[in-house]
Amino acid sequence: MQKIRRASFVVGAFAIGLMAGCTGPGSGPANSAPLSHASSIADATDAYWVSSGTTIQRQSKSGGAVSVFLTEPCGGVGAVAADDGYVYWSHGYTSLTCTASVSRMPKGGGPIEVLATGLIFNERGGIVLDDQAVYLVAVALTAAELVSGSDGSGDTRSKVYSVAKSGGTPVPIAGPIARGDAAVDGQGRVYWLSLLGEPTPETLSTTSIMRTDRDGTTTSLATVTGHVATLAFFGNRIYWVVSGYHLNNICMECDTPTIVQSMGPGDLAPVTVVTLAAGSLIHDAIVDPNGLWLSLEGTRSGLDFEGIPRIDDHTGVLLHVPSGGSPAAVLTDLPFWSDLTADDTTVFATGDTAPLLVAK
């Protein structure tokens, strides 16, 4: 059983009520859009999660035995998603015969359907769903690259793609240059990140928060100085996290405070939701009626035999920021990196083990 204990952080108070994002006329659905970009997902009856990058495990939310739902022949599974009838997943590029792909399988069992292939994911291959399509940020390999491998120019060609749930050719809908994972709001609008130039140890990142509507119209919502770690959508507001990160084992932008910002209808500029101390690196975030949930990266101490900062496993933290309240740690001893997902009653934190559960 995972221990639950408190931990201390230097933080600012929650600046706005998250319930401002609740649904109403003209607003989005009452859920957190990136519930599908992570390595776990829960539906009404079961939880699914990625294990060792090769299998997707399943367990009833009421308990019981863990079973192998499927084994991905190519390995490299990065993300899992689900709708009423299917489980969807992505896997990264592992060989010329196993280019990055998105697939699905019926929950009740059946053949694996490859929806899109011939791709490279610049990052972990997060996927999100709406009622019509699967959305992902990727690079489509050229005919020559499919034969000889990537030519290394992928970053500059990275776009947001949609692919019909029944499969077909991925359709580029935004970018380049798109980065990170996308978010959707259930009304045909896709939110994504555009990185304006590569960061260096001497300069801060500059990232644009973009929205592309179903008719193809793209709007720049905000330009942020700093690395945007993740996107989340709830009600009628888009949220993003500006946080330091590690690049080739160098902690980039780690001497500036970590902040969560949001925008909604009528906002002319981003609203700061919460501020954490510099060095509090956020790996993932979701938003729901209970507030904001943040997965904090673990700590690093000492150097390994190659002189690289050592990862201290199981030092990650799940932080909860209730509407109108202050942040508090609700789970510690998590894996170094933990993805988050949630259902109506529970938050699931998934790293290198079965999800750890927190009642809301």
Mean pLDDT score across all residues of the chain: 82
**1-5, 73-77, 185-189, 235-239: least confident range:** 1-5
Most confident stretch, 140-144, 160-164, 337-341, 350-354: 160-164
Provide the pLDDT for residue 53.
Answer: 87
Provide the pLDDT for residue 23.
Answer: 30
Spatial separation of the C-alpha atoms in residues 341 and 348, rounded to whole Å: 5
- pLDDT tens for 107-141 read 999 999 999 999 988 777 889 988 889 999 998 88
Q: How far is CA 337 from CA 39, 93, 236, 299, 316, in A?
A: 11, 21, 28, 10, 6
Provide the pLDDT for residue 17.
Answer: 35
pLDDT at residue 74 greater than cutoff 90:
yes
**18-22, 82-86, 120-124, 286-290: least confident range:** 18-22
Spatial separation of the C-alpha atoms in residues 68 and 28, rounded to whole Å: 34
pLDDT band at 10 (very low <50, low <70, confident <90, very high): very low
Fold held by 32-184: Neuraminidase (2.120.10)
Provide the pLDDT for residue 154.
Answer: 63
Provide the pLDDT for residue 14.
Answer: 34
Provide the pLDDT for residue 134.
Answer: 93
- pLDDT tens for 259-272 read 999 999 899 999 99
Q: Which among 52, 56, 100 has a CA at the least distance from the CA of 74?
A: 100
pLDDT band at 245 (very low <50, low <70, confident <90, very high): confident
Provide the pLDDT for residue 151.
Answer: 67
Query: In the chain, where are the structural domains located?
Result: 32-184
Angle at 127 between CA 125 and CA 131, to 5 degrees: 165
Provide the pLDDT for residue 85.
Answer: 94
pLDDT at residue 13 greater than cutoff 70:
no
| DSSP at 190 | E
Q: Which among 206, 205, 289, 200 has a CA at the least distance from the CA of 250?
A: 200
pLDDT band at 91 (very low <50, low <70, confident <90, very high): very high
Residues 6+ apart with CB under 8 A from 6: 328, 329
Provide the pLDDT for residue 71.
Answer: 95
- pLDDT tens for 288-323 read 888 999 999 998 887 777 777 778 888 999 999 998
Q: Which among 72, 79, 114, 119 has a CA at the least distance from the CA of 99?
A: 119
- Average pLDDT (317-343) is 90
Share of the chain above pLDDT 70, in %: 86
Q: Which among 275, 302, 218, 297 has a CA at the least distance from the CA of 15?
A: 275
- pLDDT tens for 226-244 read 888 888 888 889 999 999 8
pLDDT at residue 11 greater than cutoff 70:
no
Most confident stretch, 14-23, 172-181, 191-200: 172-181
- pLDDT tens for 141-192 read 888 888 877 766 667 788 999 999 998 889 999 988 888 888 888 788 999 9
- Is residue 161 within 8 Å of residue 171, measured between CB atoms? yes
Provide the pLDDT for residue 226.
Answer: 86
Q: Which among 232, 226, 270 has a CA at the least distance from the CA of 244?
A: 226
